Amino acid sequence: MTIIAVGCTSKMDQSASQSRDKIKLITLDPGHFHSALVQKSMYENVDSVVHLYAPEGKELKSHLSLVEGYNSREENPTFWKEKIYTGPDFLDKMLSEKAGNVVILAGNNKMKTDYIAKSVEAGLHVLADKPMAIDLDGFHKLVKAFEIAEKNKLLLYDIMTERYEINTMLQKEFVHLLAFGQLEKGSPENPSVTKVSVHHFYKNVSGKPLVRPSWFFDVKQQGEGITDITTHLVDLVQWECFPNQILDYKKDIEIVSAKRWQTSINAAQFEKATKEKEYPDFLKADVKNGVLSPYSNGEINYRLKGIHAKISVTWDFQAPEGTGDTHFSVMRGTKASVIIKQGKEQNFKPALYIEPRENTDILSFEKVLMADLKQVQKQYPGVELKKIAKGWEVIIPDSYKVSHEDHFAQVTKKYLQYLKEGALPLWEVPNMIAKYYTTTKAREIALGL
């Protein structure tokens, strides 16, 4: 067992960390960099000592390196202290010691659902990275975990960072105002809601090239694309279309169709992403002629309370220079569409547009839209509209534009607020269950099961 502390800690910090009413974090088997991003910031009433339980290896070293980087940065450094246990019985040790009260989970998804279940059974709150389940068996385990969490008065919550992206937040606002009309019902050929996400295996995190664990390329451990990033997109469809409403996965969801396809990664790319010169044995069944082809991509066509939605996730190896992961979203109303674009025209930065339907009386529409804008400005001062050829662009002050990495602190602060209040909003748990039913059921359909 080891304690690592980087940076200066004042006497006030040290005494405060001993306060009995503080939240005490436990990091369990941090195989994904998202676990470290939770610690990119400090939080009020959270102990600076984090108890970490994990096996020795590259993933642990990578996690600690990121945390050390946050502690030692010049601007607004953190002051986390890691108390580490790396024995082979690290999970049992964590469950028996209960050195904290909130477990942070971001790592190998094959084990994540079991980690969640055992943590809540032990009386620990859980803040978990997505996905919390990667197949239907995992989904059923997750449902039981939520039941145990409710019985034990614990908060089990997943990290939905995309709810904090300002273009998405404003898209949600505008689609529930008068100028938009009502959500179209849509059809499989012309959905009411379309969301497309493009991600990359090789990219920078916190200013450095990200080293992926080799299991990230194994769909049995990471999960297929149709149950991974799709989690965010399904969440946004639910959150934007039916805010604060409880969804029933047994009644409100109908999967129309689903498909999956592969991304090809050659040996040089695999080494660049993982720093490993050879494919490990567990990947060799997916390698042909030296090329690895995981099922990283997926598409789901489905109806949610009668609204037709299509979501699609694609993984490429590396983004072109000057670009990165991208998001495209269309929500069609009876009077207008609200669209997020992030292409070349937008310099690969997300931008939000409002486009009235064809044959619309533009003067009348503009009058209603400007009244809507005043409503939006009450919550988001400084947001404006700029007239363009097809409609309006939403002009968003830079102060609202927070990086993806910093969204993790926003989610964590919201979760800490719920812990203080002693409960999640009534709709959160049933809607998490609905979300994971959608992704895991779609996988079964894509597989033809």
* Strand 351-356, strand 391-395: pairing: antiparallel
- Do 388 and 413 share a structural domain? no
> DSSP string of 176-234?
TSGGG-SB----SSS-SEEEEEEEEEE-EETTEE----GGGG-TTTT--GGGTTHHHHH
CA distances from 212 to 64, 231, 270, 271, 282 (A): 15, 20, 9, 10, 16
Say which residues have a Cβ less than 8 Å from residue 377's Cβ, sequence separation at least 6.
Answer: 383
Assigned domain for 280 exists: no
258 close to 440: Cβ distance less than 8 angstroms: no
The CATH number of residue 308's host domain is: 3.30.360.10
> DSSP string of 78-121?
---EEEEE-STTHHHHHHHH---SEEEE-S-HHHHHHHHHHHHH
Assigned domain for 45 exists: yes
Question: CB atoms < 10 A from the CB of 403, how many?
Answer: 9
- Do 143 and 174 share a structural domain? no
Would you state the pLDDT for residue 210? 86
Would you state the pLDDT for residue 1? 55
* Rounded Cα–Cα distance for residues 198 and 252 (Å): 28
Using DSSP's 3-state secondary structure scheme, residue 254 falls into: strand
- Do 135 and 14 share a structural domain? yes
Model's pTM, two decimal places? 0.93
Supply the range of the domain harboring residue 225. Answer: 163-206+217-264+297-403
Structure tokens at 347: 């310099």
4 close to 65: Cβ distance less than 8 angstroms: no
**Helices 230-241 + 166-174 axis angle, to 10:** 30
* Rounded Cα–Cα distance for residues 201 and 213 (Å): 11
* Rounded Cα–Cα distance for residues 37 and 103 (Å): 14
- Do 39 and 130 share a structural domain? yes
* Rounded Cα–Cα distance for residues 126 and 25 (Å): 10
- Do 63 and 184 share a structural domain? no
- Do 252 and 324 share a structural domain? yes
Tell me the mean pLDDT per 10 residues along the chain, length 449.
45 40 94 95 97 96 96 97 97 98 96 98 98 97 98 98 98 98 96 95 84 93 95 98 98 98 96 95 94 96 98 92 86 98 90 95 97 98 97 97 95 98 98 98 95
Tokens 């004042």, residue located: 10
Counting DSSP H helices and E strands in the chain, the numbers are 12, 21
- Do 399 and 332 share a structural domain? yes
Structure tokens at 119: 């943590």
Question: For the chain, what's the residue count?
Answer: 449
Question: CB atoms < 10 A from the CB of 190, how many?
Answer: 11
Residues forming beta bridges with residue 332, ordered by sequence position: 337
Assigned domain for 236 exists: yes
Assigned domain for 227 exists: yes
Assigned domain for 239 exists: yes
Assigned domain for 291 exists: no
Measured CA angle at 234 (ends 233, 236), to 5 deg: 65
Would you state the pLDDT for residue 348? 86
Tokens 């179209």, residue located: 184
Question: CB atoms < 10 A from the CB of 198, how many?
Answer: 19
- Do 157 and 80 share a structural domain? yes
- Do 107 and 21 share a structural domain? yes
The CATH number of residue 127's host domain is: 3.40.50.720
Assigned domain for 58 exists: yes
- Do 385 and 244 share a structural domain? yes
Structure tokens at 112: 């994540």
Would you state the pLDDT for residue 8? 39
Tokens 């102060």, residue located: 399
- Do 169 and 143 share a structural domain? no
Structure tokens at 305: 């309370």
Assigned domain for 287 exists: no
Structure tokens at 394: 């939403």
- Do 373 and 306 share a structural domain? yes
Count the domains in the chain.
2
